[in-house]
Amino acid sequence: MTQAELIDLDLVDKVVAHIPTDKWDQVRQAVVERIIDNMPGQIIEKITGSYDDFDQAEQTLNNFYVNETNELIVDAFRLLGVEDTIYLLDSLQLTEDVPESDPASVSELQREGAEDN
């Protein structure tokens, strides 16, 4: 098993649990866009039939991940890396209503993710 295949599922669960239900559309859109931005043209072609149909690739992945929240985060960790995924989520400012003392804050998740790398 390679390091890329080792995903901390406890960290995935913490990230998923920390994202408010009403923010998943925003999360899915941002993560899918980042995945597509980093995706080789050959993979986009396999998804869409066209080497550069980024809009169709995004739509396809957004549809795929609609009810696959854990899978979205697992795939983001694999494809983007744990640290980049958590930084992306943090940039969305999803947890502004979470008290500073909440140990499950995204900043805490960033530290955990960085320690795992």
Give tens-digit pLDDT for 53-90: 999 999 999 999 999 999 999 999 999 999 999 999 99
Buried b (16+ CB within 10 A) or exposed e, 48-77: beeeebeeebbebbbeebeeebeebbbbbb
With cut-offs at 50, 70 and 90, classify the pLDDT of residue 36: very high
Q: Is 93 exposed, middle or buried (0-12, 13-18, 19+ CB in 10 A)?
A: exposed
pLDDT attached to residue 6: 85
Domain ranges of the chain: 3-116
